[in-house]
Structure formats: C-alpha cells, structure tokens
Amino acid sequence: MVVVFGIILAALVLFALEPVPIDITAIGIMVTLMLLGPVTTPLAEMGLLGAPIDPISAEQGISGFASSATITVLAMFILSAGVQRTGVVQILGRKIAALTGDSETKQLGAIIGVVSPISGFINNTAAVAILLPMVTDLAHEGKTSPSKLLMPLSFASMFGGTLTLIGTSTNILASEIASRPEFLGRPFSMFEFTALGVVVGIAGVIYLMTVGRWLVPERIKPRDDLTEEFEMAEYLTEVQVREDSPIVGQTVLEALKETDLDVDLIQLIRGDEVFLEPLGPKTIQAGDVFAVRTDRDTLVDLLDEEGMDMVPDVTVDEDELEIAERGQNLVEVVIAPGSFLVGESLASTNFRQRYDATVLALRRGGELVRNRLDRMQLRVGDTLLVQATSDSIDRLNDNRNFIVAQEVKRPDFRQSKIPVAVALILGVVGVAALTPVPIVVAALTGALGMVLTGCLKPTEVYDSVQWDVIFLLAGVIPLGIAMEATGGADFLAELVVMSSAALPVLGVLGLLYIVTATLTNIVSNNAAVVLMIPVAADAAIQLGASVFAFILAVTFAASTAFMTPVGYQTNLFVYGPGGYRFTDYVKVGTPLQLLFAVVTTLGIAVLYGVTP
C-alpha cells in the first residue's frame, strides 16, 4: 500500500507539473504497476525484501485498453466529429448570435444557452472548439471584449456536460468504475443524474449572468484590428530595398539564412503586386518593399546591414496586411490539446515552411511575445497571430493541431447530412436509455453509422479521436484497481469516515465534493475520478450511506474544474484568446466551485437521498 501511495504521489506531481504530457505519465503509471511484481519477486526470494509487491497482474494492468469506458469515449469522439463535419453547431450558433447585436447580456445568454445543452450530447471539448471562432467573431462584431465571453463559454460547457452520461469522458469513466460489484454494481443510466445536472446548470447560469459577469475581467479591449489587439504598432513596418543593397539578386530564403537578426519578412510589394508566403524562392530586386516584423533596435541594424530604407508615412495594420487578397489573411490560431507542436518551437517544426504562414506574435494568457518567437517552446492554449494566404488559413483550419479563432468560410460542410447526424446521436441516446443495449455498443454502432452514411469519411475517423485522452484513460484505470487491491482506498475512506465524528453524513458528502474538486483542478479530471470513487464508495459503505450519492458527488466534482486554467482542456482553449491570467480563474472559478459544492450536495440529498 505504501508503494502504491508513493506511485500516486509521484503521479499527482507529474500530472500537475506536466514535465511530460499527462497521457505519457498515465502509461508510465500503468507500466510501473505491472513491473512491481516481476521486479520485487526475485528481490524477495533473495531476502532483500520481506515480501514481493504485486498490486496488479499484467491482465489488470492493460485492462484500461479493453475498458468499456475507454471504448465508449473513443466512439463519442467519432460521433462528435460526425456532427461537427455537418456544420450544424456552427449554423445554430450563428443563427442565435444574429439575434444578440451589441448587447453583452444577450451575447452571454446566447453563448451559455447554446453550449450547455450541446455539451450534454457531444463531447464538451469539441463543443468549445467548434464554438470558439463564433464567440470571438461575436465579440468583435458587437464591440465586446472576448475576455468577457470566453471563460463563460468554457465554464458553461463543463456544467452542460453533467446533463447526461455521454456529456463528458469523466461521466463515462465514473459509470464504468461504479459498475464494479464492490461498489454500485451497475453502470449509470443515460439520464440518471439529468435532474441534478439541470439544477446545477441553472445555478451556473445565474452565477455567470450576475456575479460571474462582474468578476470576469476585460483583459483584451474590444478592437477592430488584430494588430492593435496584439499591440503590434512598434513591431510592424515597411522597408524598401535600395539599389546598393547587398541582398539584391539573392532569394528571400538566402537573405534570411545569412542574417542573425530577429526579423520576419511578412509580405513583398513589387509595383502593383503583393506577394505572401511562400516568399523564400522570390529573387529580391531593387525597389522591392517588404512588410517586416521586428523590434526598433533590430530595425536600425537591418537598415544598416542590408541596405534598406524605411517607407515613410505607412501604418502596417490589418487592412495593409490583407491587401494581397482583399480577404482574410490575418487570424488568431490556438494550439490545441494533443497538437504535435506542444513542447516544440516554430523553428523545430518548420512552421513557416510547412504551412506557408508567418507568426507575428504569441499570446500566452496575459503575456504578449512579439520578438524571438522561433525558439520559444509552445504550450497548449498558446495563441499565435498568423499572417498567411487564405488557402493556408483553410489548411490550418482543417488541421486538428490548431483551432482558428475566427470563423473561416468552410464550403466543405456536409449540410445535407445534418438530419442523419442528428438522428444518429439521438439514436445512440435513445437506444442506451430505453433498451438493454449497453452504451458502449450503442456508441460504437452510432460511430459506424457516421461513416456508413457519409457524415464522416473513413480517413477522418482516426483524426477525430483525441488519442491522448484514450491513453490517459487506459493508463489511469489500473491505478484505481491497485488502490482497491492494496487496501489504499479503504485507508483513505477511514480517514474520511473519521470526519463523521464532527460532521453529519451530508457534511461528509460535501467534504468529498470539495476534496475531489480541489484535486481535479490540479490534476486530470479522469485521474481524480479513478482515485476518488473507490474512496467515496468505501466511505459510504462504512457510514451506512448511499453509495450512489457518494459516487455521484465525486463524478460531478470531477467534471467542474473552474479554479485553474490547467484543470480542464476547455479552460486551456480560451486561456490565450481571452488573454487571461492564472489568477482570473481563481477569482472567477472559486466562488462558482463553492456554489456548486453547496448546490450539488443539497441537490443529491433532495433528489436521491444520502442514505440507502
């Protein structure tokens, strides 16, 4: 038990600090648990250990890959992608947004009203990724700060996910663990906790529309121009190549290779023509005008060394940068969870050459970086200000490694498949709710239906799955088995039960909620469920309380991580585009977390009871 607790402690530290991705940490946990037996058995035989340490077998160690929860979550990713490809969510969002005008109250109400119910039926991470561009455009058109709308979008998606069993991967995993004979002995039904989800959702909506609206800061001022929003005025200018310049006759690529200056050539103006990336093969001519990104000190060196003059009386703003195509050439791009760029840099990934796009600035929360960008290690939620052709922006928009934070026209939406995709989702929900067919079978059938009916192409299936989540689930499930097998869950449950000397059963239930909510704000929500459900179930049994009530409290607490940007993926999605600081989540999320602790605990007591 001590060794398992040591592994848990190490896992929590790694989950919180993320020196490696959390899915890799989870697989490391799984491998470590499986190796303990083979490694310690010979040591015990040699007398170096009192007894071998063998918390789980190899079959139990890899059981996460065969878990119905893991397979169901995988199928739900495919179902969500099928819906996304039809464009139905975007269409619904635009229709509602058209009614809001420039009223922040109406905008906020519309966003919450759209994302909450949608998150009950498709993956809430996907819902936020789909709606984020609509929300940023809505803020732009309504002269509202995107900061005032994006955090509520994330929070509303989280409590919307508590409406049904399939709303979040956390619910599905909790159902799988609860079904073990030593706990509840059965999985959750599709709408078993919908009533509580509605109560919690109403409380969340009231908070976000009143106290939350006042607490959410306006980090990004309403701007008409992205260069102004990223404060690029001192970093963008135009320079002209002189007749005596040493780079005349060189290609742009050769000229950039020969300089150590921190400068990006954004576009080339030659007579009446304007060229964007790829600029590398272009041969530089005298009289060429380049729009450049650099700081003032570097600009002086550039003019000196490369034989250039500043172009007077020119302001390089969004209009100037979009003159090449008279269209959308400047966008914000968010690094998505699972992106291959995480932990890499623009230089190491050859971003400019790979996507024919130039990064002008980077926003990480409230921090703006506008120079020395190439070597900066990228993180999930980083927001890049990107200059590119419309074709390159379309490619970025189609790439699951990114979320383009402005709506890009997508002619490839399969709008004719909207009725089919919606029918498949409703079919999965109906079959799982009204028939003996297990949710995993219904979800896999629906996922197959998305492909067979053309809502999703076969080549899109694998790209639609967030494999980091799948490996995370498969990796942490054995940790819960090891806790239970070694008596670790019983030990923690006894500590919880000790609090009953000073608290009634309802108070113990609330305490479990708070402990789980705190844990899920620091580490993965799925890891929190795996660790806390065995503790909650054992505590309920020792107290003679309702096992269902205690497991439900843990499930809801793990699904609502409001207090940190790292607590849930959707919080990271909006961290950069909203320009938030870490403390903003603490300030706005903590009162909401406490409100939910009270509402959820009392809701469980009233709707389901806390005793058998």
Evaluate whether residue 259 is within a structural domain. yes
The answer on 354 and 400 residing in a single domain is yes
- pLDDT (tens digit per residue) in 263-315: 878 788 887 788 877 778 888 888 888 888 888 778 888 787 778 888 877 77
Residues 547-586: tens digit of each pLDDT: 999 999 999 999 888 988 877 888 888 888 888 888 899 9
Domains contained in the chain, number: 2
Higher-scoring residue by pLDDT: 112, 245: 112
194 in any annotated domain? no
Domain assignment of residue 354, yes or no: yes
The token duo for 6 is 């040591």
Confidence of residue 62 (pLDDT cuts 50, 70, 90): confident
Among candidate residues 404, 420, 438, the one where a domain is terminated: 404
Question: Residue 223 corresponds to which tokens in the numbers above?
Answer: 């701007």
Residue 363 Cα distances to 287, 353, 367, angstroms = 34, 22, 6
Q: Is residue 52 one of the residues assigned to a domain?
A: no
Residue 231 in tokens: 């404060």
pLDDT tens per residue across span 385-405 = 888 877 788 888 878 788 887
For the entire predicted model, the pTM comes to 0.82
Indicate if the alpha-carbon torsion angle 71, 73, 74, 78 is positive or negative: positive
Judge whether 514 lies within some domain.
no
DSSP for 356-378, written as a single string: TEEEEEEEETTEEE-SS-TTPPP
Residue 9: pLDDT band by 50, 70, 90 thresholds?
A: confident
* Residue 555, pLDDT score: 94
Could you tell me the CATH number of the domain that includes residue 370? 3.30.70.1450
Tell whether 302 is covered by a domain: yes
400 occurs within a structural domain: yes
**CA–CA distance, 420 with 414 (Å, rounded to integer):** 11
- For residue 291, is it within any domain? yes
C-alpha count within 13 angstroms, C-beta hemisphere, residue 244 = 5
pLDDT number for residue 224: 67
360, 384, 404: which is the final residue of a domain?
Answer: 404
Q: What is the pLDDT of residue 15?
A: 73
Q: Which domain holds residue 293?
A: 233-315
User: How much is the average pLDDT of 426-453?
Assistant: 89
As a dihedral over the C-alpha atoms of residue 551, residue 556, residue 560, residue 563, rounded to 10 degrees, the angle is -50
Per-residue confidence (pLDDT) for residue 483, from 0 to 100: 74
How high is the pLDDT of residue 347? Answer: 83
Mean pLDDT of 178-203: 92
The residue that leads in pLDDT, 436 or 408, is 436
